[in-house]
Amino acid sequence: MDVLWLRAAVGEMLDLHFFRRRSVRMVRQIELAECGLACLAMVANYHGRGQALQDLRRRFPPSHRGTNIAKLMSIADQIGFLPRALKVPLDELRLLTFPAILHWNLKHFVVAERASSRGVMIHNPDGHSRWYSWNDLSLHFSGIALELRPSSEKQEPLPTANTLRIRELFSGMGGILSVIVQVLTMTLIIQIASIATPYFMQVALDNTISIQSVDFLLALAAGFGIISVVGVAAGWLRSFTILTASSQANLSIASNTVRKLFRLPISWFERRHLGDILSRFSSIQPIQQLILEKGIISIIDGIFSISVMILMFFYNTLMTLIALLAILTYVFTRIIFFRYAREAKQESIVSHGREQSFLIESIRGILSLRLFGAETKRFSAWQAKMVDALNGDIRTARIQNWESSLCSLIMALQDILIIFISVIMISRGDMTIGMTFAFIAYKQMFISRIFLLVDQYISFKMLGLHLDRLSDIVKGEEDWAFNGRSADRELKGGITVDNVSFRYSSGDNLVLRNISMEVFPGDHVALTGASGSGKSTLLKLIGGIEKPTQGSILIDGEPMEEFGIRSFHQQISVISQNDNLFSGTIASNIALFEEIMDIDRVHSVAQDAAIHDDIMAMPMKYDTQVSELGSTLSGGQKQRIILARALYRNPKILLIDEGTAHLDLVREMQVNQAIKRLGITRIIIAHRTETINSADRIYIMEDGSLICDN
């Protein structure tokens, strides 16, 4: 760590609210395409117009395709800024009004906080803040900048998102208050026992030696021994209680989080990396540990240490003041390092999430990497991300090393000074040797407990980092399917698409325009058209996966919300282009892991899907194990098993997006004939002529519109 780093640390005082210096605070993007919103949040917070990223995201949903300068200017105007877009030569960049938003690498946005002769301070919403030299900056800056000046007009505040509270994570966990009371009681007993030990040492040294009474020493030892045994027993009971409660807490928090995760919209998952989602669950354990393990104990220790401090003052005022000065110095040191430790920890977590996402994607795409001979290139890219993650860990460890070293130095100097003073006091007869040993023991007890309390306070401040990460899941808006009616309704199979238009976000162009179509129960309808014309999007709307921007979709003559989306989903099956099998047997995959599997129905739908003979030819037949990616099966076999899974639930409507593209014509005809006999409503997306011609009606789509109904 250099002098500039320390000077910056002392100057900023790291967000513990002791000192203030206006600076840009990092706001990391969570979704893949919200770098612009994150930059706006950073600038708004700098100017004291606090905007949480989740609030901006809710009011101005980012497009899947990203955000342009014009859209950022529109949002900035609505949240109280006067935006001005500029084309800026590199040598004039320092003339901008800072902080400003810069266009980066022709595809990204960053915040420039300030400029100097050595370069520009850049905050990248992907999680990095650093100085860029002018030469380095020229490699990334595209020449477009956005200045943002606060307007004088009073703006209506954005509706603030609810902050995730700790008690929300523990909902459903009974007996938490009882656990806290038990831990408090055991901790109190432990504290009383620990305070008695130094006094025993003082009495033994000062009284027993002078009177030379073995009986008195034995009685004294027996009494304090009983106290020690009680303290150890209380410690064991406390550990057992915390262990049990911690297991329950982990289950409660994980269950509440995963339950909410499963209820989030599909678009939520499409905008995030899988590894980043998984890494958020690593925040559960620090929350549980702080609340049930370290938090309660450290608070009791901190409160009880006041009585220890009072005892110390009775022994010697000067040495007690020296110990207090050392503690204040320790607190000051922790304050200095807090912000950098928090940012380093967050960078480490995010970097590991990116590395995990990249590795998962690589494993999923191993076949493509092998066929293209790109393993070495992909490995190098993964290694670079792993290095970034390790660098985050190293930065965190480096900061911790500086903290511990400085604190150790403070404590060493304090110990030397107190020993020096105590020797003088003994030589003058102001203190006995027993009193000195007792004071030093009380001093160590006092300092260790205050240190623990300070550490837990810092951890509590760090808790916001973990709560923010879990908040993206727990406070996310549930899919609209969970907000409507849930009563069971009998589905007949009629669908009406009434003047439906759709866009993925408010800033996007319409993907579908004024679509209207009627599908009667038992109809077989084909959607065809060029790739990108909106067929899959329309199927998502009909399936209730997305909500129309305009217009409505009727199910058996009722609006989908009134019919009940959950009830609708339970009576239809959808085969998408990206359907996957799960790890398990073929039979379990067809029955989607029902607890009580109808094996006869499994065989029946497998025959309808023309996969039964293939399965019976396998050594393990329906007990054949398949991997998550179905790699033991051919593409056609995997597709037919997915089709059998769709038929297993006896749907009234079957939506298929290229669900038979991997089948040969003979097998496709077999499948179509089998499904036709079921008499269910079918809407399929297809490009193959034979598949299209098998339908009763054909809709042709072009640029988001229906141009033909045959």
Give per-residue pLDDT as tens, 180-239: 777 777 777 777 777 777 777 666 666 665 566 666 667 767 777 777 787 778 778 877
- Nearest-10 crossing angle of helices 317-364, 433-474: 30
Residue 5 confidence class, pLDDT cut points 50, 70, 90 = very low
The reply to whether the predicted model has a pTM over 0.85 is no
Considering the chain, what percentage of its residues have pLDDT values greater than 90? 2
pLDDT at 1 exceeding the cut of 60: no
Residue 295's pLDDT is: 66
Give per-residue pLDDT as tens, 308-354: 888 888 888 888 898 889 888 888 888 888 877 877 877 787 788 77
pLDDT at 20 exceeding the cut of 60: no
For residues 397, 402, 407, 410, the Cα torsion angle rounded to the nearest 10 degrees is 160
Q: How many CA atoms lie within 13 A of 579 on its CB side?
A: 26
pLDDT at 149 exceeding the cut of 70: yes
290 vs 559, higher pLDDT: 559
In contact, 519 and 690? CB cutoff 8 Å: no
The number of angstroms, rounded, from the C-alpha of 463 to the middle of its chain's C-alpha atoms is: 13
**Cα–Cα distance for residue pair 366/463, rounded to 1 Å:** 38
Task: Please give the domain boundaries of the chain with CATH numbers for all domains.
Answer: 21-150 (3.90.70.10), 166-475 (1.20.1560.10), 482-709 (3.40.50.300)
Among candidate residues 35, 39, 407, 708, the one labeled active-site is: 35
Average pLDDT over every residue of 516-533: 87
Residue 153 confidence class, pLDDT cut points 50, 70, 90 = low
Residue given tokens 């990223």 in the structure block: 53
Residue 412 confidence class, pLDDT cut points 50, 70, 90 = confident
Considering the chain, what percentage of its residues have pLDDT values greater than 70? 86
Residues contacting 649, CB < 8 A, separation 6+: 570, 573, 592
> Around Cβ 312, how many Cβ atoms within 10 Å?
22
CA angle 403, 405, 407 (to 5 degrees): 70
Sheet with 108-116, edge to edge strand ranges: 81-87, 141-150, 100-104, 108-116, 119-124, 128-132
Give per-residue pLDDT as tens, 440-484: 888 888 888 888 788 777 777 777 777 777 877 887 788 887 876
**Cα–Cα distance for residue pair 32/354, rounded to 1 Å:** 11
Residue 170 confidence class, pLDDT cut points 50, 70, 90 = low
Give per-residue pLDDT as tens, 119-135: 899 998 887 788 899 99
Lowest mean pLDDT among 149-153, 196-200, 366-370, 526-530: 196-200
Residue 296's pLDDT is: 67
Task: Using DSSP, state whether 67 is helix, strand or coil.
Answer: coil
The verdict on whether 35 is a catalytic residue reads: yes
Closest to 194 measured CA to CA, from 513, 554, 446, 15: 446
Task: Using DSSP, state whether 154 is helix, strand or coil.
Answer: coil
Q: What is the CA radius of gyration of the chain?
A: 33
